Structure 1
Amino acid sequence: MKAFLKWTLLGVLTIVGIFLLSNIGTLFLNEAPDKLRAIASPSIDWNAALSKLPDVTVVDPKSGILSVPYGRTQAYASQLVRIQGIYRVNAVPIEPTISWQHYTFTLKDELSGYLRGDLGMIRNTSINKDIPVKQELKAMLVRTSAYFVPGLLLAVVLGVGMSFASSLWRRLGETMDGVHSLLIALPDFFLIVLIQLAAIYISKFTDKRLILIVQIGKEVPFLIPFLTIALVPGVLLYGTMRLAFQRELAQDYVITAMAKGLSRREVLLNHVLRNVLEDLLTALPKATTLALASMGVAEAICNIMGLGGYIVNPTFQNVSAMPVTCAILAAIAIAFHGLYALLRRTFVISTKEAA
């Protein structure tokens, strides 16, 4: 119970920290949070024009400087531009400054919105319109999970399977170790670009679009993000499990078992594999974090409107929904970490020396 409370508190603090950090951009101001500049007709009657907006006052009629409620410049800009005689509404630039007032105002405003069920807005580039993230959230989760979960499972299968095969056949192990050294030296972004270029190259030799490169309407690429999520954490898991197998193969119990006539395959299956389970469960949390990061980069490159792509790709971003999507990704990571902790507690035998 004590451990459960500790990890629950840690998860809550993580999500709160992400919420605070995801709004850090609002701490820095280069535009007035309570002023707007309206470009209007010289003959405009400001009193009549602003009669339906009592919260807006004219600061300088000649230059069109208007005062609006603090932190509501975007909302009032969209209303002012609809008034006849006002052609355009711009923000008023100020000298860059750090404003804790604006930061705390944004946090309070977002929290009050969450209490009302408003999770912010997200930009849908297919229809070029901002829509409530609450409306799009389910589709984003389904879209991301469709290749994240299978990709992560494939990474585990590849990492464990290839390390097992490399330990069983030495020549294959030497080859795989060389490939692993090459892949581990390459940046993740470079690997993702190579996968996308390969998909484009293969598509040139087909009459039909067998491999989708970017999201087109409701058609979402699967192969590129799937392979990306599987490859990057798979490389990590292979290196970890390869070392674990080599460590166990050097143990006395393995030498004794092989001396009694057991084959290398039987020793690996019946003895070594279960002894490296702890190494796998120890590496899985980091592999999952890498898979989430790779997912974000792959979604951004493929222009996929998913949880990760939304955060990374600037064409999707709308700052009002950023904390929600960041918190959801954090919650997914925490859930997987909890699952691994449960599996470790269930299947890994803990040994302690007697006093």
Structure 2
Amino acid sequence: MFSFICKRILLLIPIYIGLTLSTFTLVRMVPGDIVQVLMGERMVDPELHAQAMKRLGLDQPLPVQYFDYLTKILKGDFGNSFRDRSPVLNDFFSHFVPTLELAICAILIASVLGVSFGIIAALKRGSWLDYTLMSASLAGYSMPIYLLGPILTGIFAHYLGLLPVSGVISVMQFLDVEPYYGSWLLGSFFSDQPGAFWDVIKHFILPSIALSTIPLAMIARMTRSAILEVLGEDYIRTAKAKGLSPTRIVLVHVMRNALITVVTVIGLQMATLLAGAILTETIFSWPGVGNWLLDGFHNRDYPVVQNGILLVATALMLISLLVDILYGLINPRIRHAAK
């Protein structure tokens, strides 16, 4: 198992280097003068412009800039924002934690409901329940977040008044609750303000539901397909012939062999949620990494954009590594084949 993990880690090294090169190149292909953007509408004196370019390290040739950038990354130095000089790593974690919490809530909803719907649809194949669940999953997959988000806020926030519209905490309690290491959930849990934790939970409900619809549909359909494939195997017919109960057959024999597909889908969907939650964050005014990167892109803030993307990609690669490890734990044949 150790050699299996080491091989997976070694495979990530060239991917990581290629990612640094691509982010460094693509960010600098965006048109616009960074100094002029930072100065706003004011005219910049040519001498001051040159001094600013030198201070930011942008007066050097691109290969020199890239080598300096890569050297700092290897030392764990992700630089400071051009705009407010704050450390990029600290800003990243303060924005990534809310995105991670939102993604975890969404993937939990999607996994529990998706796997349950997939199992029921597979066991009731061809029935009205199967068609209903799969039709609902297709509708959820087809519904874009920029349409579903306003619908949910219109029904549950404006019409029924049950849930808040946006943000992570109510205005009345904003001054009494601060994030704990970037986490509003932990900050509200340890807060002395009555009802703060439940208030934050209510803010999570609508964006979590909106973000979970597409992965829920994918997990449900892939779970159904995987279970149907396993149900056709010879050892399942043997288990039935031995008189094993249907519950034991499904939980012990079917699910264990169908888990590879399910884990793959859940891992990929978790990575998708982390990388693509920007629409949900924009609709619900969520203080996540997507909005942070978008602001950095608009401000031509090179350290924020290139290092922020790199840090998000690092999180995605760690998720991919975790999925590979789970493969080996679920099915020993995979890790033996990798030796």
TM-score (norm 1): 0.68
Q: Percent identity?
A: 19
Distance 2:61 2:35 in 1: 8
Q: How far is the alpha carbon of 1:247 from its aligned partner?
A: 1.2
Match of 1:179 among 127, 133, 136: 136
Q: How far is the alpha carbon of 1:233 from its aligned partner?
A: 1.9
Match of 2:96 among 123, 132, 141: 141
Q: Does 1:231 align with 2:188?
A: no
The 8 Å contact of residues 229 and 291 in structure 1, kept in 2 or not, is answered as: yes
Q: 1:135-159 deviations in whole A, cap 9, x for unaligned?
A: 4333223222222223223322222
Q: How far is the alpha carbon of 1:160 from its aligned partner?
A: 1.5
Change (3 A) 1:122 1:71: closer
SS where residue 102 of structure 2 aligns?
helix
The 8 Å contact of residues 277 and 348 in structure 1, kept in 2 or not, is answered as: no
The corresponding residue for 1:272 is 254
Q: How far is the alpha carbon of 1:245 from its aligned partner?
A: 0.9
Distance 1:231 1:73 in 2: 48
Kindly provide the amino acid, as one letter, of the partner of residue 107 in structure 1: Y
The corresponding residue for 1:154 is 109
Match of 1:103 among 62, 76, 80: 62
* Contiguous gaps of at least 5 residues in structure 2: 179-183, 185-199
Distance 1:19 1:222 in 2: 33
1:35-114 equivalent positions in 2, closer than 5 A? 65-66=46-47, 68-69=49-50, 72=53, 102-108=61-67, 110-111=69-70
SS where residue 212 of structure 1 aligns?
coil
Q: How far is the alpha carbon of 1:246 from its aligned partner?
A: 0.9
Match of 1:254 among 231, 236, 250: 236
SS where residue 159 of structure 2 aligns?
coil
TM-score (norm 2): 0.71
Change (3 A) 1:28 1:333: closer
Q: Does 1:318 align with 2:305?
A: no
Change (3 A) 1:274 1:13: same
1:7-26 equivalent positions in 2, closer than 5 A? 7-23=8-24, 24-26=26-28
Distance 1:65 1:117 in 2: 30
Change (3 A) 1:309 1:13: farther
Kindly provide the amino acid, as one letter, of the partner of residue 161 in structure 1: S
Distance 1:319 1:163 in 2: 44
The corresponding residue for 1:289 is 271
Larger Rg over CA atoms: 1
User: Which structure has more RCO (C-alpha within 8 Å, separation ≥ 6)?
Assistant: 2
Q: 1:200-251 deviations in whole A, cap 9, x for unaligned?
A: 33212345x7223246777874223322442222222212111011112222
* Contiguous gaps of at least 5 residues in structure 1: 41-63, 77-98, 124-128
Change (3 A) 1:302 1:31: same
Q: 1:245-266 deviations in whole A, cap 9, x for unaligned?
A: 1112222333344455555444
Q: How far is the alpha carbon of 1:162 from its aligned partner?
A: 1.2
Higher relative strand content: 1
Change (3 A) 1:141 1:298: same
SS where residue 280 of structure 1 aligns?
helix
The 8 Å contact of residues 196 and 213 in structure 1, kept in 2 or not, is answered as: no
Change (3 A) 1:33 1:315: closer
Distance 1:29 1:192 in 2: 28
Q: How far is the alpha carbon of 1:199 from its aligned partner?
A: 1.9
The corresponding residue for 2:123 is 168
Higher relative helix content: 2
Change (3 A) 1:280 1:67: same
Distance 2:298 2:48 in 1: 30
The corresponding residue for 2:187 is none
Distance 2:46 2:290 in 1: 39
